[in-house]
Structure 1
Amino acid sequence: MKKINIKKYLEDFESDISLAKANHFEAIIIPFNDCEVYPFNNINDKDFIYDIAYDYGWDIFVIIDLITDTQHIIDLSLDAA
């Protein structure tokens, strides 16, 4: 996979991120291989996050914690190796 400027990539999703914040979600998942985003609560429930990713077929995605305003890149393809 080629290198991606995360900050620039996330700029395309600013409206989705703002909408998730306005609707009081705890976090939002932004996949790299899909244009759909998934706002959710339960930021501490890792099983829920992985289940969503597996259900949608997302191997690599960014989770933005809207409470602490932090970003985490998750690459499930590394878990499978």
Structure 2
Amino acid sequence: MTSDTEAGKAVVSGAGAVDDGLVAELVARAQAGGVKLTGEGGLLQQLTKRVLESALEGELQAFDITFDGRRTAGRR
């Protein structure tokens, strides 16, 4: 597993990309806070949404495109 910091965000790759301790902590916090693990508004739905948004943002940044479709400075 490798880990770097890019623009204040952790970038993790390799087989250890999922930290079991972190997953256990998230599940425990969700249960303690009364958040369902699955279903509408549950932990799994929230995590999936955030992971997909982060991946999409990364792809858009690779092409210097903002969410509204405008090109950012740096590419023509």
Q: Which has the larger radius of gyration?
A: 2
Q: Which has the higher helix share?
A: 2
Q: TM-score, normalised by structure 2?
A: 0.30
Q: TM-score, normalised by structure 1?
A: 0.29
Higher relative contact order (CA 8 A, sep 6+): 1
Q: Which has the higher strand share?
A: 1
